[in-house]
Structure 1
Amino acid sequence: AATRLFEEKGYGGTSLAEVAAAAGVARPTVTAAFGTKPALLSDVLDEALAGDDEPVPVAERPWFRPVWDARRPGEVLAAYATVCTLIGQRAARLFEVVRRAADASPEVAELWDRSQRNRRAGSRMVVDQLEVVGVPAGWPGHAKAVDALWFFNDPSHYDALVRQCGWPEREFTEWLAQRMSDALLRP
C-alpha cells in the first residue's frame, strides 16, 4: 500500500494514516512497524530494490549472479544492464519520490545520499569484475569507469525511456548495455 501511495501522491502527499487505511490496519500498527514516514519510505525503497524483504544484499541476489559469472567485459556489462533494467522497473518511481523529498526532510536527504552511495558501491563492484575478466587498451581507468557506471545505473534513465517514452524493456536493456560498452570498452 505504501509503495503505491508514495508513487501516486509523492512523499509529502502521503500520510501514515493513508498508508494504514490502504493496508487495512490502524495507524498505530504502521507506526509500530516502521516508526516514522522517512523510515517507511526507506523500507519501501529497500524492498523495491531487492524485490523482497529478505536481508540479502542486492549484489548477492540470484538475479545479480550473471554479472559475477560473466567471463568477458561485454558480457559483464550486458548482465549489468539487465540488473539495471530490473531495478529501474521496481524502483525508478520511488527513487524520484526520494529525490524530490530530499530537500524537505533531513531523514529523506540521508536516504537519498545513502541510495547514491549504494549505487556508486554497486558500480565499483561491477568495475572490479570488469578488471578481473580483463579490460581493453584505452580503458578509462577505475575511477572514471566507476563514475560512468554510476551515471548509467541511474533508475531515472529507465523511467525516462521505458515509462515516459514507451521503449520496450528489452530495447532499453540492449541500449544501456551498448552505451556502457561504448563508454568503457571502446578506445
Structure 2
Amino acid sequence: MTEQKKRRSYSSALRQEQAQATRQKIAAAARELMISKGYADTTMAEVAREAGVAVQTLYTSAPGGKPALAKLVYDITLAGDARPLPQSDRPEIQALIDEPDPARMLASYAAMATAILRRITPVHRVLRAAAAASPTDAGLQDVLAGIEHERLTGSRGPAEHLHALGALRPGLSPARAAAQIYVLTSTENFEKLTKVCGWAEAEYEEWLASMLAAALLRPGG
C-alpha cells in the first residue's frame, strides 16, 4: 500500500468515526428530549442545540425530518451504538447461530431480547403514544409500520435456524414460528409484565425463554 493510499484510508476511517460519534450524540439528545417532553413537543432545533450540532447537520444525519430522526433514535437504541453494522452481523447474533442446542439458543435469545427491550421500550412507548395522538402524521405512522415489519423480518432468523436444526415442533413452519417469536418479544408484553405486573427483568427473561421453548421446540427436543 502506498503512503497516499494509507493516508486516504486513515482519513476515510476518521470521517466514519466522526460521523458515528455525531449520530450517537444526536440520537442521545433526541431520545432524552422525546422521552421527557414527548415526540410532538420536541423540535429539531432543540435536538440540535442539545446535541451541540447545527440544525443542518441534524437533517444530514436524519434526512426526512422528525420522523426520520425518530427512526434514527430507535435504530441506535436498538443496536446499542451507531456503528453501521446490521444486527445479523453482530457478535451476539453470530453466537446464537453457532449454538447447536435449541434450548440453550432460545435461552440466549431471551437474554439478548430482554436487554434490547430494556433499552427500546421507552422509545417505542413514546412513538406509539405520538402515533395514536396524530393518526394523520403519515411519516410517523410509516416509521412505526416499518419498525414492526423489521421486527417480524428479524424474527425469521432464529426461526429458520431452529428449522435447520430440525428442532421445530412437527407441522410448525418457519414463518409461523417467526410470527410467534415476533409476538412474544413485543415491547407491549415486556412493558405489561415488568411495569404493570411488577416482574423483575430476570423473571421476564425466564418466562420468555420458557414460552419460546414451549411454543417452538419439538417435544422432548
Q: TM-score range by the shorter chain?
A: 0.7 to 0.9
Q: 1:11 aligns with which of 39, 58, 70?
A: 39
Alignment of 1:88-107 (within 5 A): 88-102=117-131, 103-107=135-139
Aligned CA distance change for structure 1 residues 180 and 141 (closer, same or farther; 3 Å)? same
Measured against aligned partners, the alpha-carbon deviations of 1:60-114 in whole angstroms (never above 9, x if no partner) come to 2122233212112212211211121121011111122222333242111111111
Give the deviation of 1:25 after TM superposition: 4.3
- Structure 1: gaps of 5 or more residues: none
Residue 68, structure 1, aligned to residue 100, structure 2: no
- Note the aligned Cα RMSD (angstroms): 2.1
Distance in structure 2 (CA, Å) of the matches to 1:126 and 1:40: 29
Give the deviation of 1:20 after TM superposition: 2.6
Which residue type is aligned with residue 9 of structure 1?
K
Which residue type is aligned with residue 84 of structure 1?
A
Q: Which has the larger radius of gyration?
A: 2
Number of residue pairs matched by the alignment: 187
Distance in structure 2 (CA, Å) of the matches to 1:23 and 1:164: 33
Give the deviation of 1:164 after TM superposition: 4.6
Contact 1:92-1:159 at 8 Å conserved across structures: yes
Partner of 1:39: 68
- Structure 2: gaps of 5 or more residues: 1-28
Which one has more relative contact order, counting CA pairs under 8 Å at least 6 apart?
1
Contact 1:101-1:109 at 8 Å conserved across structures: no
Residue 182, structure 1, aligned to residue 214, structure 2: yes
Q: 1:21 aligns with which of 40, 49, 57?
A: 49
